[in-house]
Every structure is written in structure tokens, then in C-alpha cells.
């Protein structure tokens, strides 16, 4: 009886003090840090084999395409288009006559067009996180394809368009993976590769090969990340070889290779949307319901009510955090956890 009395007293004190919304709870550093750590682990451990294969396939194909575009642009103009670091440095070098040609406005426009491409992606993809079927990835990919085809049609007379295409692609993959996967430049990829390998080695040294469950989960997450980063780096290098070979053999017609790869991914996402319409719709409703639940707003239409009363794992979890009832009144979600 004593534990039950303690729980009841805790709930009474919580109700007297007032409820705390999930958003307010996130202001606490300890809660936020634990949630972020668990979310990162979940992203690494929970995807199914099909999802993991899809993530790796998309990253590899886009890395090959970006590496090829970069190689083709450098072969023709002696500067890179898939990242802005070299162009940003080249502005000062050319202005001070330390790099030929001395036209410093060319790297300026490469940087500007890359940013414009990222801006265009932001207009199309409105949120972070992988949302296959919900976010309009096919529009972004076909936009990249169109820009690359413009460059091919004009025989790469305007390399700024290729920089813009890389900006669109990089923004899409960054928002999709929350900055974990990168395909147009390999600095972050090499950094993640090295840091993941370092954590794996140090974990074995510190724990003397014996790991608890939580340590093992972190090890598995780092191991999967290490494999993905290696594949992305090797794919980008392979893309450089493909672009160089293609330019030597076909000149600017080699742009058809990365354009074709990007077009293929765009079509694949369209097919995915058509084959999984019901699943995508259910995920969209689940996200809306949960977002309203944790913000304390409650449900606002019959479709959301039907979803919460269903038997899916998401619906059961939402009912659980709302005490088995509708998520009204507002602001009770986190209060029940923090008070218990």
C-alpha cells in the first residue's frame, strides 16, 4: 500500500502545482539531452532492412552523381561546383592575383547560386527528417535533373546552374537526414567516419570488451554510421572516376550520367508514393495527432479521433500518454510523466 500511497500523493502534488506541457519540459537540459540521445539511437537501430537498404542506396547514388558533376566541372573549368569551400577561398585568391584566372566574380556567383539552390529546396521541402511519400522529394530530384540537363544542353556554358543543382541536392539530403548524410561534399562525411571509429575503439578500451546493453546500442549505432560514411566516401570517389572517364570520352555529354541517376531516384519516389498511399496517409495523420498531443492542443477533426481510437502502435502509445483518454484537456501530457 505504501508505494500506491506515494504515487497518489505524487499525483495530487502534481495536480496542485499545475501541469507541464511537453514543450515546457524540453526546456530542461537533462530531459532534452536524454531524448536527443534516444532519438539518435532509435534512428540508427529501428529502421527495417528495407529502410536501411533504401537509405544506403539513395546516399550512394547521389554521392556518385555529385562526384561525377564535380569532376566534369573541374575538368572543363578548373574549379569545383559541389561545395562552396573552394570557391569561397578562391574569391580572395583571385582578387589578390594568386589564382588564375583572375576573375574573382566567377567563384562569387558559384557560391551565390549554390545558396539559391538550397533556398529553392527549402521552398519545396518544409521540414526536417525523412518523410518518404510526404515531402516532395521527387520534385526536388527532378529539379536537380532539370538543372543538370540545362547545363548539358548549353554545353556547361553556365556552370553556376550546376552549382545551384548541387545546392538543391545538398539541402534535400541534409534536411532528410538531419545533417547526418551528405552527398555533395565529403568533409563532414570524413569527420563522422573518423569520430565514429574513434568512439568505437575508445569504447572497447574503456569497457575492456565488456559492454552493457546501452553501451552496446551506442556501439551498433556508431558501427552502422561508420559503414554508411565509408560507403558515401567511396561512392563520391567512384563518381569522380566516372565523371573524369566520361568527360575524356564524351566531354560535356558525360553530364547525362549524373542527370540519369538523379532522374531515376525521382521516378522511384513517385512509384513509392503510389504504392504506399494508405501507409503514407496514416503516418501523416499520426504525426499530426502526436504533434498536437505534445503541444497540448488536442484533436481537431474526426479523422484524428478515428486514428487515436485505432489499434496501431502509434495510436496505442498516444492513448497511453493521454491516460487512455482523448488528449484533452490541453497540457496534460508531460504533466502526467513529470508528476508520476
HEC assignment per residue over 28-75: CHHHHHHHHHHHHHHHHHCCCHHHHHHHHHHHHHHHHHHHHHHHHHHH
Tracing cell 499530426 back to the chain, one arrives at: 288
Kindly state the percentage of the chain with pLDDT values over 70: 65
Tracing cell 495527432 back to the chain, one arrives at: 289
How far is residue 149's CA from residue 156's CA, in Å, rounded to a whole number?
9
pLDDT greater than 80 at residue 222: yes
How far is residue 220's CA from residue 22's CA, in Å, rounded to a whole number?
29
* Predicted pLDDT of residue 335: 40
Scored b (16 or more CB within 10 A) or e, 207-230 reads eeeeeeeeeebbbebbebbbebbe
* Predicted pLDDT of residue 60: 93
* Predicted pLDDT of residue 339: 40
Instruction: Tell which wins on pLDDT, 55 or 9.
Output: 55
Neighbours of 19 (CB within 10 A): 18
pLDDT greater than 60 at residue 200: yes
Instruction: Tell which wins on pLDDT, 48 or 8.
Output: 48
The arithmetic mean of pLDDT across residues 105-124, rounded, is 92
Kindly state the percentage of the chain with pLDDT values over 90: 29
Cis peptide before 329 (omega within 30 of 0): yes
**Residue 37 pLDDT level (bands cut at 50, 70, 90):** low
pLDDT greater than 50 at residue 15: no
What's the burial of 256, exposed, middle or buried (CB within 10 Å: 0-12/13-18/19+)?
middle
pLDDT greater than 80 at residue 111: yes
Top mean pLDDT of 9-13, 134-138, 239-243 is at 239-243
The arithmetic mean of pLDDT across residues 223-233, rounded, is 90
The arithmetic mean of pLDDT across residues 126-147, rounded, is 82
* Predicted pLDDT of residue 21: 58
pLDDT greater than 60 at residue 247: yes
Q: Give the max Cα distance, the chain.
A: 83
Instruction: Tell me the pLDDT tens digit for each residue of 266-296.
Output: 999 888 888 887 777 777 776 676 666 666 5
Given its phi and psi angles, is residue 28 left (phi above 0), alpha (psi -120 to 50 degrees) or beta? Answer: beta
Contact yes or no for 59/231 (Cβ under 8 A): yes
* Predicted pLDDT of residue 13: 47
Average pLDDT in the chain: 77
The arithmetic mean of pLDDT across residues 255-274, rounded, is 92
Please tell me the pTM assigned to this model.
0.76
pLDDT greater than 70 at residue 315: no
- Which cell goes with 182? 551528405
Instruction: Tell me the pLDDT tens digit for each residue of 69-79.
Output: 999 999 988 88
The arithmetic mean of pLDDT across residues 145-170, rounded, is 92
Contact yes or no for 289/333 (Cβ under 8 A): no
**Residue 203 pLDDT level (bands cut at 50, 70, 90):** confident
* Predicted pLDDT of residue 86: 85
**Residue 211 pLDDT level (bands cut at 50, 70, 90):** low
Instruction: Tell which wins on pLDDT, 203 or 45.
Output: 203
Instruction: Tell me the pLDDT tens digit for each residue of 41-57.
Output: 666 556 666 677 778 88
Amino acid at each position: 500500500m505504501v508505494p500506491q500511497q506515494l504515487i497518489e500523493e505524487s499525483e495530487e502534488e502534481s495536480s496542485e502545482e499545475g501541469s507541464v506541457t511537453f514543450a515546457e519540459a524540453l526546456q530542461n537540459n537533462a530531459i532534452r539531452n536524454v531524448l536527443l540521445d534516444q532519438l539518435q539511437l532509435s534512428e540508427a537501430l529501428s529502421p527495417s532492412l528495407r529502410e536501411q537498404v533504401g537509405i544506403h542506396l539513395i546516399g550512394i547514388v547521389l554521392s556518385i552523381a555529385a562526384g561525377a558533376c564535380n569532376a566534369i566541372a573541374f575538368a572543363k573549368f578548373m574549379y569545383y561546383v559541389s561545395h562552396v569551400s573552394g570557391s569561397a577561398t578562391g574569391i580572395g585568391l583571385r582578387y589578390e592575383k594568386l589564382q588564375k584566372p583572375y576573375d574573382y566574380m566567377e567563384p562569387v556567383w558559384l557560391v551565390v547560386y549554390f545558396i539559391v539552390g538550397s533556398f529553392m529546396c527549402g521552398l519545396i521541402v518544409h521540414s526536417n527528417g525523412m518523410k518518404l511519400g510526404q515531402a516532395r522529394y521527387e520534385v526536388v530530384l527532378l529539379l536537380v535533373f532539370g538543372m543538370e540537363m540545362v547545363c548539358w544542353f548549353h554545353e556547361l556554358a553556365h556552370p553556376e546552374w550546376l552549382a545551384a543543382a548541387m545546392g538543391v541536392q545538398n539541402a534535400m539530403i541534409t534536411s532528410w537526414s538531419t545533417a547526418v548524410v551528405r552527398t555533395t561534399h565529403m568533409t563532414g562525411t570524413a569527420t563522422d567516419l573518423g569520430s565514429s571509429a574513434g568512439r568505437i575503439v575508445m569504447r572497447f578500451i574503456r569497457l575492456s570488451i565488456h559492454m552493457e546493453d546501452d553501451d552496446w546500442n551506442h556501439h551498433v549505432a556508431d558501427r552502422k554510421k561508420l559503414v554508411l560514411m565509408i560507403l558515401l566516401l567511396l561512392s563520391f570517389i567512384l563518381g569522380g572516376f566516372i565523371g573524369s572517364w566520361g568527360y575524356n570520352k564524351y566531354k560535356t555529354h558525360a553530364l547525362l550520367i549524373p542527370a540519369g541517376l538523379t532522374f531515376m531516384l525521382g521516378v522511384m519516389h513517385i512509384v513509392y508514393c503510389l504504392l504506399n498511399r494508405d501507409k503514407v496517409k496514416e503516418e501523416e495523420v499520426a504525426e499530426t495527432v502526436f504533434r498536437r498531443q505534445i503541444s497540448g492542443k488536442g484533436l481537431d477533426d474526426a479523422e484524428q479521433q478515428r486514428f487515436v481510437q485505432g489499434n496501431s502502435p502509434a495510436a496505442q502509445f498516444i492513448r497511453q500518454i493521454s491516460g487512455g483518454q482523448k488528449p484533452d484537456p490541453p497540457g496534460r501530457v508531460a504533466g502526467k510523466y513529470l508528476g508520476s
